[in-house]
Structures are given as structure tokens and as C-alpha cells.
């Protein structure tokens, strides 16, 4: 599959997806959203891909937001459709069943922060900046910002960012739990790759179960979430990976998981 606005490559089971519009600070337009959807489908379908890293080209921005020149001319109906399309694409990464890490270099604003929050983990450069500045344009977030941000950092902190429209730095983003790791700018991709590699040493079915349990559990009562967790726990006991993992532990050797 070829892309006009993305770079897509797979190495050692890790798909690296780079939004490649550095002259526009990797701003999200309709074409980028559509191609991100195609890349998400490629990650989900390809059995050789066990995880994905999302990043932006150049040192200045992960994604500096939506392409305002394009958005400014949308009618209300078209704007709603764009919001629904973006939400659906971002959901594909969150619900893919394979771990997705955002490697954040520079600005992650508006739709960029919303994309990063749809990833399961976030590694940021020390100079990265984060924010949801939509209110400064007379808008609200449209790609999941009002939903994912409070779930990640709590209602009060989320409203502070959403209503104020300001930016925070990487240290503050780490302090409030918005990002998982902060590293020097030249180490962002290396840190994201190392983190992904350590995750992929584990059983793929177990990883998928953890992602499913957390994603679904956020929308269930505690009783329902615990019941679903028990279902997943029991299901894994029927897998060859579980037998391999426990057998390797008892034999004091490294497991060789096959995802079955």
C-alpha cells in the first residue's frame, strides 16, 4: 500500500507510521485522516505486525493540530462527518488489539494530542508541548479530546486544559499522567522502540487481553468489568501461549510465544 502523507515501514514486528507533512507541522487534513485509517487497517491485518509506533516527521511537531485552512470552510454537516471519521480512525488504533505507542517530538496540539491519546502509551521529548487549544478558535475538540483527556488525567485537570486552551510542557504532562516517559529529543524513537520491544517479548494473546479488558472496562460497571476480566483470564488458559509461558517459567528458560 502506498501513502501520500505517511511513511509506513515494518521492522522486527513493529510498524512505524510517520505523519509526513513537516512543512505543515504534520497538521491533520482529510487526506491524512483517511491514510491513518488505511495504516490502522494494515496494522490490524498483518500478522507480521505485533505493535505500532506513531510519530511525526521533523523535530518541530508530532502533529500541531488540524489543518485550519481546510477546516475553516466546512459546513456544519461536513464538520460533524469529519469529526466522526476522525473518531473512528483513532478508535481503530485504540481498539486494534496490538500495542500502539506515540513517539512525540515537538508540538502535540488539538488533533495531535487527540491522536496521541488514542495510542496506548506515550513517549515524549523533553521539549514537547501539549494542549487542546480549540476554544481559542471558537471550537471544541472533535476527535475524542473531551472523552480521553479526563480519563487519562482526571476531570479537573482536563477541564483546565480544555477551557483554558493553553499548553503544558513535557514535564507537566508526565506529572499528571498524560505521557509515560520523557527523554531527550534525539532519544524519542529509540526509547519508543525499546519500550515496544520489551512489550513484544510477552505473549501476544495476553497483550490483546489486557488491552481489551482495559478498553471495555472503562465503560462497564466494576462488577461487569471484573466478570469480563475473569472470562479473558479463563480463555487464556486454553491457549498454547499460556502453556508455553508457564512451562518456560518453571523450566527457567525464555518463552517462545506463537500467538495461539
**pLDDT tens digits, residue range 115-174?**
999 999 999 999 999 999 999 999 999 999 999 999 999 999 999 999 999 999 999 999
Give the position of cell 480519563.
Answer: 151
86-89 long-range contacts, CB within 8 A, separation 24+: 86/28, 86/33, 86/111, 86/114, 86/142, 86/143, 86/144, 87/142, 87/143, 87/144, 88/37, 89/33, 89/34, 89/36, 89/37, 89/40
Distance (Å, rounded) from C-alpha 21 to C-alpha 56?
Answer: 8
High-pLDDT (> 70) share of the chain, %:
100
The whole-number average pLDDT for the span 230-236 is 96
> Which sign does the torsion angle of CA 116, 121, 124, 128 carry?
positive
> Residue 66: which pLDDT band, with cuts at 50, 70 and 90?
confident
- Predicted confidence at residue 248, as pLDDT, reads 93
Q: Which cell is 125 given?
A: 521529548
Which residues, other chains included, contact 149 with Cβ-Cβ below 8 Å and sequence gap of 6+?
113, 117, 132, 141, 158, 161, 162
Taken in order of first residue, the domains within the chain and their CATH numbers are 6-199 (3.90.226.10), 204-251 (1.10.12)
Size (the chain), residues: 260
* Predicted TM-score (pTM) of this structure: 0.94
The whole-number average pLDDT for the span 44-71 is 94
The whole-number average pLDDT for the span 30-47 is 96
Count CB atoms within 10 A of the CB of residue 240: 13
CA angle 179, 129, 13 (to 5 degrees): 50
Q: For all residues of the chain together, what is the average pLDDT?
A: 96
The whole-number average pLDDT for the span 193-207 is 97
- Predicted confidence at residue 49, as pLDDT, reads 97
Cα torsion 172, 174, 176, 179 to 10°: value is 130
> Residue 259: which pLDDT band, with cuts at 50, 70 and 90?
confident
> Residue 217: which pLDDT band, with cuts at 50, 70 and 90?
very high
Give yes or no for residue 1 having a pLDDT over 80: no
- Between helix 204-217 and helix 222-236 the angle, nearest 10°, is 170
> Residue 72: which pLDDT band, with cuts at 50, 70 and 90?
confident
The whole-number average pLDDT for the span 75-80 is 95
Q: Which cell is 189 given?
A: 524513537
Give yes or no for residue 69 having a pLDDT over 90: no
Which are the catalytic amino acids? Answer: 114, 134
H-only helix segments in 109-256: 111-118, 145-153, 155-164, 170-175, 188-199, 204-217, 222-236, 240-251
For residues 138 and 198, the answer to whether their CB atoms sit within 8 Å is no
Which backbone phi and psi does 55 adopt, to 5 degrees? -150, 180
- Predicted confidence at residue 67, as pLDDT, reads 86
For residues 101 and 196, the answer to whether their CB atoms sit within 8 Å is yes
Amino acid at each position: 500500500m502506498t501513502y501520500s502523507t505517511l511513511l509506513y515501514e515494518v521492522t522486527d514486528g513493529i510498524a512505524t507510521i510517520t505523519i509526513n507533512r513537516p512543512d505543515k507541522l504534520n497538521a491533520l487534513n482529510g487526506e491524512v485522516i483517511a491514510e491513518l485509517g488505511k495504516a490502522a487497517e494494515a496494522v490490524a491485518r498483518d500478522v507480521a505486525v505485533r505493535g505500532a509506533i506513531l510519530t511525526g516527521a521533523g523535530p518541530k511537531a508530532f502533529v500541531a493540530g488540524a489543518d485550519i485552512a481546510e477546516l475553516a470552510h466546512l459546513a456544519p454537516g461536513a464538520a460533524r462527518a469529519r469529526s466522526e471519521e476522525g473518531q473512528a480512525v483513532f478508535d481503530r488504533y485504540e481498539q486494534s488489539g496490538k500495542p500502539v505507542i506515540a513517539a512525540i517530538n515537538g508540538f502535540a496540539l488539538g488533533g495531535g494530542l487527540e491522536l496521541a491519546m488514542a495510542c496506548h502509551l506515550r513517549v515524549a521529548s523533553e521539549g514537547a508541548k501539549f494542549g487542546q487549544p480549540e476554544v481559542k478558535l471558537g471550537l471544541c475538540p472533535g476527535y475524542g479530546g473531551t472523552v480521553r483527556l479526563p480519563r487519562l488525567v482526571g476531570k479537573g485537570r482536563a477541564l483546565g486544559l480544555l477551557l483554558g486552551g493553553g499548553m503544558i510542557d513535557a514535564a507537566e504532562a508526565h506529572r499528571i499522567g498524560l505521557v509515560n516517559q520523557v527523554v531527550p529529543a534525539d532519544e524519542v524513537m529509540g526509547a519508543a522502540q525499546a519500550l515496544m520491544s520489551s512489550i513484544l517479548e510477552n505473549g501476544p494473546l495476553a497483550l490483546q487481553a489486557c488491552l481489551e479488558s482495559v478498553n471495555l472496562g472503562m465503560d462497564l460497571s466494576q462488577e461487569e468489568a471484573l466478570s469480563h476480566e475473569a472470562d479473558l483470564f479463563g480463555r487464556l488458559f486454553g491457549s498454547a501461549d499460556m502453556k508455553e509461558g508457564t512451562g518456560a517459567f518453571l523450566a527457567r528458560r525464555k518463552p517462545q510465544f506463537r500467538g495461539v
